[in-house]
Amino acid sequence: MDTKNGLVNFGLFILLFVFTFVFCLDALAIPNTFYGVLAIIGFVVCIAASLFTGLMSRREGAALAIWYLSYTVIVSIVFVWYLTRTGSAMQIW
């Protein structure tokens, strides 16, 4: 993967995470199911796409592979936080 294309792709992933995080905060503040579903879809897309891109970059030996994989870990931590907040708001646990 070319470095310039990798940086653009990484920037798009960060932009997607920002929108997803805003949707998750809005879904927690105002009980809005549509925003909650958009947040879950956004988190899953962020995790899956960055994990796939990170593994492919590692296979090619690109330097951005560690950034994609660390991004995956950070988004996964925020996703688990969102799921626990949603579960406690819905009194599931």
pTM of the model: 0.88
The distance from CA 21 to its chain's CA centroid, rounded to whole angstroms, is 8
Return the amino acid letter for 64.
L
- DSSP annotation string for 48-85: HHHHHHHHHHHHHT-TTHHHHHHHHHHHHHHHHHHHHH
Ordered per-residue pLDDT tens for the chain, 93 residues: 556 778 888 999 999 999 999 999 999 998 888 999 999 999 999 999 999 999 998 998 888 889 999 999 999 999 999 999 998 888 887
